[in-house]
Amino acid sequence: MSKLLEGKFALILGIANKWSLAYAIARAFAREGAALALTYLGERQQEAIEELSGGLNAAAILPCDVTKDEELVALTESLQAKGRPLDAVVHSLAFANREELARPFVETSRAGFALALDVSAYSLVAVARATAPLMTGGGSLSTLTYLGSTRVIPGYNVMGVAKASLEAAVRYLASELGPQKIRVNAISSGPVKTASARAVKDFSSILEAMPKRAPLRRNTDPAEVADAAVFLASDLGRGVTGNVLFVDCGVQVMGA
């Protein structure tokens, strides 16, 4: 039985630890035969990524701070040096200061708003610009979003606005990169217990409510999100672009 990503080269940005969705996606990509380039932020995270890379078929582990253009340029150069085209990119990056999530949205600071939009939304544009030239045969660019982009999720605050911007960027990038046969999509995962999710106030109550509200009556499994990412990166998803694919046990269809 052939593997869905056999022979493909994929870049995954945003692995933080073994609980992160990006790590689940990396494992699924490796399972399906992809060679991976992984990124890290700072020396401390480098050690963690190197430790997690075992069994992931990692061809490269590279530094990248997406808020610094020079590091994105260096990332492009390092990937070019590998001498093979890039087939898929997974953007799993988001950040907001914890205090911005703890206070009412109306009290969001200008600096906090700018930081959240920069890391969580603009970085997709910057990553696309850095990697599109490497996708000489076309490819897939996927990012991760959440229902808080279109619905008010108490405590999600500025991150919800950032995800709304991210989803708009997906549509514009899909339109512009389509002629290069590059597809751009977002996966909207249900709530998953990750390190970043714990920064959202009362996140545990959201997890507790899901099995009562979602049509499938359970929480989202990270492996389900990872398999959706495999689909989008594979030839099976060759006609899908500009979309938000919900992997949330159906909760997005429910009213209050």
pLDDT single digits (tens) 190-223: 998 766 656 666 767 788 889 999 999 999 999 9
DSSP 138: B
> Can you tell me the mean pLDDT for 94-106?
94
Confidence band (pLDDT; 50, 70, 90) for 96?
very high
Look up the CATH number of domain 9-245: 3.40.50.720
The pLDDT tens digits of the residues spanning 126-164 come to 999 999 999 999 999 999 999 999 999 989 999 999 999
Residue 44 pLDDT:
85
23, 40, 146, 172: the active-site residue: 146
Residue 114 pLDDT:
98
Q: Where are the alpha helices (DSSP H) in 92-142?
A: 98-102, 110-117, 123-131
Count the neighbouring beta carbons within 10 Å of the beta carbon of residue 218.
11
122 a catalytic residue: no
Lowest pLDDT segment from 48-57, 102-111, 119-128: 48-57
DSSP 220: P
Q: What is the mean pLDDT of the chain?
A: 94
Residue 200 pLDDT:
63
Residue with tokens 């009412």: 104
Strands (E), 64-191: 88-91, 139-145, 182-189
H/E element, 35: strand 35-40
Burial of 77 (0-12, 13-18, 19+ CB in 10 A): exposed
Give residue limits of the domains in the chain: 9-245
156 a catalytic residue: yes
Tell me the CB-side half-sphere exposure of residue 130, using CA atoms within 13 A: 26
The answer to whether 202 touches 154, Cβ cutoff 8 Å, is: yes
Residue 245: pLDDT over 90? yes
The span from the CA of 65 to the CA of 67, in Å, is: 5
Q: Which amino acid is at 112?
A: G
> Can you tell me the mean pLDDT for 10-29?
96
Residue 172: pLDDT over 90? yes
23, 40, 156, 172: the active-site residue: 156
The span from the CA of 136 to the CA of 154, in Å, is: 43
Task: Compute CA distances 218 → 20, 55, 188, whole Å.
Answer: 19, 30, 16
The span from the CA of 182 to the CA of 175, in Å, is: 9
The pLDDT tens digits of the residues spanning 24-41 come to 999 999 999 999 999 999
3-state DSSP assignment of residue 125: helix
